[in-house]
Amino acid sequence: MKTVSRPDRTLPGDIDLPRSPAEVLAIVLENAAPLGVEHVALHRAPGRTLAHAATAPEDQPPFAAATMDGFAVIADDGSPWREILADQMAGHVIDVEVTPGTAVRITTGAPMPPGADAVVPVEETDVSEDHVIIGGDPARPGQYIRLPGADARRGDTVVSAGSLLGPAELGLVAGVGLVPVPVSRRPRVTIIATGDELVEPGTVPGPGQIRDSNRFSLLAAARAEGADVRWVGHAPDDAAPLAALLRDRIAADDIVITSGGVSMGERDLVKALLPGLATVHLRRVSMRPGKPFTFATAAVADPGTETGERTTLIFGLPGNPVSALAGFELFIRPAIATMLGRIGWERPRVTVTLGHQIPSGDRTDYPRAIVTVGPDASLSATTTGGQASSRLASWLGANALLVLPPREHPYAAGERIDALLLGPPPGAG
Ligand code: AMP
Ligand code: MG
């Protein structure tokens, strides 16, 4: 595969213009599309995204079945005792008809024998040798019988396309026999950490060096969204090898994520190199953390697709660990979900009451916060300590990003503001 040029592609205005987070998301999603379908065995499908709706090929259950262990009887039968004709076990069909004065011993899930219209649970009976005495209340016609189609009708959608295959979804897919399972192809994602200061985490940093942590937090983030993460190590701030690596990964993968090298420094090479390798759409987003943020796309020849071409998305994240994760959360996560064709991926946006004052700024601020549910079911939020963009601990334990648009005066304690829920809010206790 090689990168093909796209001379007709026009730049959408000034790439250095700071864009609002909503504009950036819109530009990213315009360039993201579902990647296609592949088929996997059921046991390989957990965590994948269902590519086509799963429908019931027949009524579920396909036959009237007992929902209790007991006796299949005629409800109106006034006989004081019934002759036990046979045993009807789940998974078998016997050729016996229930008539007045008779019963068939039946187990849960077994098909109802002809003639019978009710099941009497074994707890309400007395059995003696070849006959059964029905005690308790008289049986109601239809009791303890699950009718055909009670769970799903033939042709019903049981799991929608775009669903994440969790326990219930996978069970339903198996139950309607959708095998092998059509799942969305996962985006191939390469994460490249750049910076001369980086060493592998197993190494003791020398003078001026730090351990590369972004590659691993971004790995965890991308995996959690269902991406197929490729591993290429970290890259020095050295133009020729970095350009070669970027070119290779843009040709091979669906998403290339870089960390570092997109701000205003002399050695911010990702920023300098990308215009030669891709179409750069934007380089700044008006948010905190994470203002330097590059989004680019490249048309790549791909004989595996109908058009013979596909688009690689390139995200240049800043090196500060919190900025990198914020850029992932707000823009890359939605791109991955869109490429997977996933439904229901959006974070719930809720109104919360601020527990303390927060300074405002001239960009949308996304402080990391803990949202809790109060006794009256109202939500309140407190931030997770120092919010410096280098302090990854501010993400630890956070279940929300607060959304604080730019304004003059600070956000006050008790004010009602928006929050994006990253996880379920615990009770305040
Ligand atoms: P940069 O965006 O390259 O200007 O880097 C901004 C800050 O993030 C600097 O303090 C870097 O040392 C730090 N940084 C860059 N890359 C990483 C990384 N992979 N892991 C942890 N910190 C990083
Ligand atoms: Mg750097």
pLDDT tens digits for range 3-46: 444 433 445 579 999 999 999 999 999 999 999 999 999 999 99
Q: Counting atoms of ligand 1 from 1, which one is nearest the CA of 193? A: 19
Beta bridge partners of 93: none
Domains of the chain in start order, with CATH, are 2-36+185-340 (3.40.980.10), 40-54+159-183 (no CATH), 65-146 (2.170.190.11), 349-421 (2.40.340.10)
Q: Counting atoms of ligand 1 from 1, which one is nearest the CA of 265? A: 4
Q: In angstroms, what is the span from residue 318 Cα to ligand 2's centroid?
A: 8
Q: Which residues of the chain have pLDDT under 50?
A: 1-10
Nearest-angstrom CA–CA distance, 243 and 157: 48
Q: In angstroms, what is the span from residue 407 Cα to ligand 1's centroid?
A: 29
Strands 309-317 and 102-106 come out as unpaired
Q: Counting atoms of ligand 1 from 1, which one is nearest the CA of 318? A: 2
Evaluate: CB of 294 within 6 angstroms of ligand 1.
Answer: no
Q: In angstroms, what is the span from residue 194 Cα to ligand 2's centroid?
A: 6
pLDDT of residue 12: 54
Q: In angstroms, what is the span from residue 367 Cα to ligand 1's centroid?
A: 20
Nearest-angstrom CA–CA distance, 170 and 229: 23
pLDDT of residue 9: 43
Give the CA dihedral 236, 240, 246, 248, nearest 10 degrees: -120
pLDDT tens digits for range 78-90: 998 999 999 999 9
Q: In angstroms, what is the span from residue 86 Cα to ligand 1's centroid?
A: 76
Evaluate: CB of 318 within 6 angstroms of ligand 1.
Answer: yes
Q: Whose CA is nearest to atom 17 of ligand 1?
A: 319
Rounded to a whole number of angstroms, the distance between the first and last alpha carbons of the chain is 56
pTM of the model: 0.94
> What residue ranges in 23-142 does DSSP mark as E strands?
37-40, 54-55, 65-66, 70-73, 81-88, 102-106, 118-121, 125-128, 131-134
What tokens were used for 62? 């396909």
Residue with tokens 């005690």: 135
pLDDT of residue 275: 95
Nearest-angstrom CA–CA distance, 180 and 61: 21
Give the residue, out of 203, 210, 389, with the most ligand 1 atoms within 8 A of its beta carbon, to mutate for a pocket test.
Answer: 210
Q: In angstroms, what is the span from residue 260 Cα to ligand 1's centroid?
A: 5
Q: Whose CA is nearest to atom 23 of ligand 1?
A: 319
Evaluate: CB of 321 within 6 angstroms of ligand 1.
Answer: yes
